[in-house]
Amino acid sequence: MTRIPTMAENQHNPAPRVWLETYGCQMNVADSQLVTAVLRRAGYTPAARPDDADVILLNTCAIREHAEERVLRRLGELARFKRTRPALRLGLLGCMAQHNRAALIEKAPWLDLVAGPDAYRRLPEMLGAQSFDPAVDVRLNRAETYGDIAPEYACGVRAYVTAMRGCDKFCAFCVVPYVRGRERSVAPEDILREARQLAERGVREIVLLGQTVNAYRHGATDFAALLSALARVDGVERIRFTSPHPADMTAGLVATMAAEPKIQPYLHLPAQSGSNRILAAMDRGYTVEAYLELVARLRAAIPELALSTDIIVGFHGETDEDFRATVGLMRTVGYDSAFTFKYSVREHTRAFRLGDSVSEAEKSRRLAEVIALQEAISLERYRALIGREFPVLVEGPARRGAGRLAGKTPQFKTAIFPGRPEIAPGATVRVRVESATAHSLICALA
Ligand code: 5AD
Ligand code: SF4
């Protein structure tokens, strides 16, 4: 029997196919869209599966050890494709590439390419190189914003647009300033052009991204001015941003959030700890009192504001008393949701040398406690909304289907409601909350 050649084999010079996997935060998702655009311009095309790719790339995260272990396991799995397809090129991108390239190349000698977050422009060149040694580019470039490259956004009603890259805060526990480099902001005209194009394609909600997004500054444009300019883009109905740093929440920014109806009443405001001693050791640049005062100002200015946070338990030196203070902060603020993490010692950070005084078992115990606490608080806060009505931007079918649709309220809470043929993604519908879990609102059309 003769095998029928595939379309790609039939073409004289088929475009090489790329399989790209993304790990970690929203920034990495946005960077992968950028990488896809860079590679497409250079004649590459996305592969449908890793099995039929010519190039496999993993865009990685280094924030905690666990994230790195996961990628290393996946790399091991993918390396087996190289046995049957020696021409396959395997590459590692992103924060982990930047963080420990030497150890990586030792642990994964089959890697052909290692590229840090500021090296994506050079990917086609690196992939084109014919060499037995892996192509490595982990030079950080304090000017690189990729502002001129339009990323390949996933289609949907919401798009994540990078506003700034890098971080200058150097929190003692965090590897981000080392792997993503110095803070730099994308020119406002690049962001606004992107937003206009997205709106024309049907995107209704823009989420501005940056490691400390509210530290944004480009010439005379600060973050509040950027938000105001974005609000004037026709077709953009909702504006969000993540993640702001508490120390950069200026009065002007709070006032702009309160005054501009397109800016949605939801803020992810990482606290990390509720103990002043630990906040100082973490070099967070605020006290619990200052944080609570900010929360009070925000809530006074934006009465319907929802808040979420990041909490680290078991930072070096965290006593039971410090931990109780974190629990106290979570209760006092009453977050709508929280991302909670066990402290993970990271090489290169300032806290690396301090040590890791809290045992793994104790970290797990503390983590379980904050997770259970947040579940209870979330459930209470979500249930308190029963009977209330909200405008919901429709995203598409709900995950557990049954003809239901899902979307977000202004407070970024998932709303699930009955579908109707005339309700399409991108529309805004009014719903009434009928019941709630700790993670979603079950609604009727109002
Ligand atoms: N260990 C645990 N959590 C960390 N984060 C950052 N670095 C670490 C670390 N070394 C958490 C912080 C940050 C979030 C993105 O990840 O809470 O806000
Ligand atoms: Fe890391 Fe702190 Fe920068 Fe956030 S602000 S990315 S926690 S160094």
Q: Which residue has the tokens 């397809």?
A: 85
Are 280 and 289 contacting, i.e. CB atoms less than 8 angstroms apart?
A: no
Within 10 angstroms of residue 89's Cβ, the number of other Cβ atoms is 22
Amino acid 1: pLDDT? 39
Report CA-CA distances (Å) from 190 to 186, 197, 320.
7, 11, 48
Ligand 1 proximity of 114 Cβ (cutoff 6 Å):
no
Among 63, 170, 273, which residue has the most ligand 2 atoms within 8 Å of its CB, making it the best to mutate?
170
The reply to whether ligand 1 has any atom less than 6 angstroms from the CB of 310 is: yes
Residue 93: exposed, middle, or buried by beta-carbon count in 10 A (0-12, 13-18, 19+)? buried
Q: Whose CA is nearest to atom 2 of ligand 1?
A: 343
- Our answer on whether the CB atom of 366 is closer than 6 Å to any ligand 1 atom is no
H helix intervals, 14-150:
26-41, 65-84, 95-99, 101-107, 123-128
Centroid of ligand 2 to alpha carbon of 320 (angstroms): 24
270 in contact with ligand 1, CB cutoff 6 A: yes
In this structure, which residue's CA is closest to atom 4 in ligand 2?
211
Q: Which atom from ligand 2 is nearest to the alpha carbon of 168?
A: 3
- Measured from the Cβ of residue 27, the count of other Cβ atoms closer than 10 Å reads 24
- The reply to whether ligand 1 has any atom less than 6 angstroms from the CB of 95 is no
Predicted local confidence at residue 130, as pLDDT? 74
Among all ligands shown, which has an atom nearest to the Cα of 180?
2
**Cα(45)–Cα(41) distance, integer angstroms:** 9
The total of other beta-carbon atoms located within 10 Å of residue 17's CB is 18
Quick one: pLDDT at residue 107? 83
Q: How confident is the model at residue 105, as a pLDDT?
A: 83
In this predicted structure, what is the pLDDT of residue 231? 98
Return the CATH number of the domain spanning residue range 389-445.
Answer: 2.40.50.140
CA–CA separation, 223 and 217 (whole Å): 6
**Are β-strands 404-408 and 45-46 bridged in parallel, bridged antiparallel, or unpaired?**
unpaired
Pocket test for ligand 2, best of 61, 174, 286 (most atoms within 8 A of CB): 174
The number of beta carbons lying within 10 Å of the beta carbon of residue 108 is: 18
What does the alpha-carbon distance between residue 256 and residue 275 come to, in Å, rounded to a whole number?
30
Using most ligand atoms within 8 A of CB, pick from 25, 167, 173 the residue to mutate for ligand 1. 173
Superfamily of domain 158-383: tm_1862 like domain (3.80.30.20)
Peptide bond into 243 cis (omega under 30): yes
Q: Which residue's alpha carbon is nearest to atom 6 within ligand 1?
A: 174
383 lines ligand 2 (CB under 6 A): no
> Does 291 sit in the ligand 1 pocket, CB within 6 Å?
no
Q: Are 138 and 97 in contact (CB under 8 A)?
A: yes
Same fold, 17-137 and 158-383: no
| CB of 19 closer than 8 Å to CB of 55 | yes
| Topology (CATH level 3) of domain 17-137 | Rossmann fold (3.40.50)
Distance 334 CA to ligand 1 centre (A): 21
Say if ligand 2 is within 6 A of residue 351 CB.
no
The single residue listed with the structure tokens 């109905």 is: 237
Q: Which atom of ligand 1 sits closest to the CA of residue 310?
A: 17
Binding site membership of 341 for ligand 1 (Cβ less than 6 Å): yes
| Spatial contact of 146 and 123, defined as CB atoms under 8 Å apart | no
**What pTM value is reported for the model?**
0.94
Ligand 1 atom closest to residue 346's alpha carbon, by position in its atom list: 10
pLDDT averaged per 10 residues, the chain (length 446):
44 82 95 97 95 95 93 91 90 93 84 94 90 84 94 92 97 97 97 97 97 98 98 98 97 98 98 98 98 98 97 98 98 98 96 97 98 98 98 94 93 97 96 98 97
Task: Say how many Å lie between the CA of residue 272 and the centre of ligand 1.
Answer: 8
Instruction: Give domain limits for the chain.
Output: 17-137, 158-383, 389-445
Pocket lining: 212 vs ligand 2, CB cutoff 6 Å: yes
